[in-house]
Amino acid sequence: MIDPNAKDLVVGVVGCGAMGQGIIQVALQGGLRVVAYDARAGGAAAGRDAVLARLDRLVEKQTLTTDAAAAMREALSVTDDIADLAPAGVVVEAVFEDIEVKRELFGKLEAVVAEDAILASNTSSLPIGSIARSCKHPGRVAGLHFFNPVPLMRLVEVIKGPATDPAVVDALVTIGTRFGRTPVVVKDSPGFLVNMGGRAFTTEGLHLQHEGVATPAQVDAVMRDCGHFRMGPFQLMDLTGIDVNYPVSMIVFEQFLNDPRLRTTPHHRALFDAGRFGRKTGQGHYRYDAKGTVIDPPSADHATDAAPASVVHVATPNDQALDELLDRAGLSSRADDGAMPIVAALYGEDASGFCARTGTDPRRLVAVDTTGDTSKRVTLMTAPSADPAHRDAVAAAFVKAGVAPTVIKDSPGFILQRMRAMIANLGCEMAQIGLATPADIDLAMKLGLNYPLGPLEIAKEMGVARTHAIIAAIHDATRDPRYRPSLWLRRRALLGLPVHATG
Ligand SMILES: NC(=O)c1ccc[n+]([C@@H]2O[C@H](COP(=O)([O-])OP(=O)(O)OC[C@H]3O[C@@H](n4cnc5c(N)ncnc54)[C@H](O)[C@@H]3O)[C@@H](O)[C@H]2O)c1
């Protein structure tokens, strides 16, 4: 077994395209020697030139010294001959995403490198077990899954295939750290960790749109303002490109044997089929100008010139979060006079379900999402037969108080509760199937997708029992197995245990 800490460890990089170049750069920045190989004639040299140009830019920006850049230039050699990878203690493969190409390559690599060298694949979607299948020593084959752009994305997933030797996993953790990345160890499973976990965010946004609950602009605004996500799901899809996220969604969904939790919507596919890939094509969920700025950004705020309400009847008394929100909006609670707006804080239940269960008048009910940050924006929701006058009077009270109301159609769990419960529930499922430790699931989702909190941390913040109640209520309302609570979440909610508790 190679010494992953060896000062003179040589890293082989195979495939000098977008990812290979990033991997070369972080290996060099980690002080390692690199031999880079590409099968395309001149491909490795072109990769080297691109990496060296990037290092030059870092010198210009003064984030790298001239001496350090010169040392890295010295430490990099490129070749069009696979035999030159012989001195590599670890080879990272970043060639085309094709199982036959990778299998054949790994066979050739085994014949070139020392018997104790590690062979790692940067594949996004191919099982490591499948790549290692025809290797003579599958124990030394693992995944080392970087994120694009590699130098900016700190996370690296170390994928343990079914035959991977635990010492190889440990060595890759050390090597990943030497590359300046933060490694998390992940089981060999479709989409690995981040590409599977990320499905909750995008596909639930799409389901809210599909059901006619809210527009992309409304979902995005609520996720940013109330959920503190840097971007909403529709912005994110348009940025990464629907030509990328639709196929990834389908691969993960199909490899999980069509698990409805991972199901996307026909509209996602329609955008893909129409070539509306997002920013890169000028049109996706939004329209963009040549600079990538959204044209005529749709508003998420409810426009009304109604007179603000000042009194309402509260149908869910003793809810502290609701009481505080109503206070801020200058809304006082009174006994129901049969004509005033009725407000209720709902958790996972839709307005129709609440009215049917409690006998509340659906024409006057305005449901309020009290969860998340309501300092800038609040989500209001009504049942199908609601009188818009009551909704507008309550919305106007929030406008007056400087809180933008987003008014949506009836939805179990509004926008934020539903999105966060989905993210948390899928995170719990990842823990249940042993994809990674609960702490690593949180860490990977924060580093890989810029989430403000990891999925289990979201459940902790919302309350384990409440998170379970929300997803269970959505499941009850929809009877859609997409929303079935993860047993991990259910058991911890039932027993009053922390959501991170293992065992
Ligand atoms: N692009 C991403 O965002 C991303 C993110 C994570 C992982 N990945 C994975 O990384 C890998 C590479 O992706 P990319 O975007 O860098 O691709 P790319 O097309 O930019 O580069 C692939 C390179 O591999 C070379 N190549 C192809 N077959 C080869 C072979 N048999 N031997 C040697 N070189 C060969 C090509 O000449 C090319 O230079 C894929 O497995 C992909 O799934 C990509």
* 3-state SS record for 107-129: HHHHHHCCCCCEEEECCCCCCHH
Radius of gyration of the chain (CA): 26
Shared domain check, 66 and 154: yes
Catalytic option among 110, 157, 204, 457: 157
Size of the chain, expressed as the number of residues it contains: 503
Shared domain check, 35 and 117: yes
Cα 154 to Cα 182: distance, rounded to the nearest angstrom: 6
Is 480 within the bounds of a domain?
A: no
Q: Is 43 in the pocket of ligand 1 (CB under 6 A)?
A: yes
* Choice from 48, 95, 131 to test ligand 1 binding pocket (greatest atom count within 8 A of CB): 95
Q: Is 153 in the pocket of ligand 1 (CB under 6 A)?
A: no
Distances (CA, A) of 334 to 306, 338, 370, 455: 21, 11, 20, 39
Provide the domain limits for residue 144: 10-188
Domain boundary among 354, 379, 408: 408
- How far, in Å, is the centroid of ligand 1 from the Cα of 88? 19
Is 209 within the bounds of a domain?
A: yes
Under-70 pLDDT residues of the chain: none
Is 72 within the bounds of a domain?
A: yes
Is 425 within the bounds of a domain?
A: no
CATH number of the domain that residue 182 is part of = 3.40.50.720
Shared domain check, 176 and 27: yes
How are strands ordered across the β-sheet holding 90-93? 76-79, 33-37, 10-14, 90-93, 118-121, 141-146, 155-160, 182-187
Is 114 within the bounds of a domain?
A: yes
Look up 411 and say whether it is catalytic.
no
Q: Is 240 in the pocket of ligand 1 (CB under 6 A)?
A: no
Closest CA to 144 of 4, 315, 257: 4
Closest CA to 327 of 269, 223, 398: 398
Catalytic option among 93, 110, 122, 124: 124
Shared domain check, 223 and 100: no
Give the phi and the psi of residue 424 in degrees, each rounded to 5. -65, -40
Look at the chain and report how many structural domains it folds into.
3
Look up 110 and say whether it is catalytic.
no
- How far, in Å, is the centroid of ligand 1 from the Cα of 280? 20
pLDDT reported for residue 239: 96
Look up 352 and say whether it is catalytic.
no
Cα 192 to Cα 194: distance, rounded to the nearest angstrom: 6
Omega of the bond leading into 149 within 30 degrees of 0 (cis): yes
Cα 243 to Cα 240: distance, rounded to the nearest angstrom: 8
Cα 499 to Cα 465: distance, rounded to the nearest angstrom: 10
Look up 125 and say whether it is catalytic.
no
Domain boundary among 366, 390, 408: 408
SS3 at position 18 = helix
Q: Identify the H or E element spanning 368.
A: strand 365-369
Closest CA to 201 of 225, 158, 236, 159: 236
Tokens representing 140 are: 């030394």
Shared domain check, 263 and 317: no
pLDDT reported for residue 1: 87
Distance of CA 48 to the CA centre of its chain: 31
- How far, in Å, is the centroid of ligand 1 from the Cα of 19? 6
Is 466 within the bounds of a domain?
A: no
Domain boundary among 169, 188, 207: 188
Q: Is 123 in the pocket of ligand 1 (CB under 6 A)?
A: yes
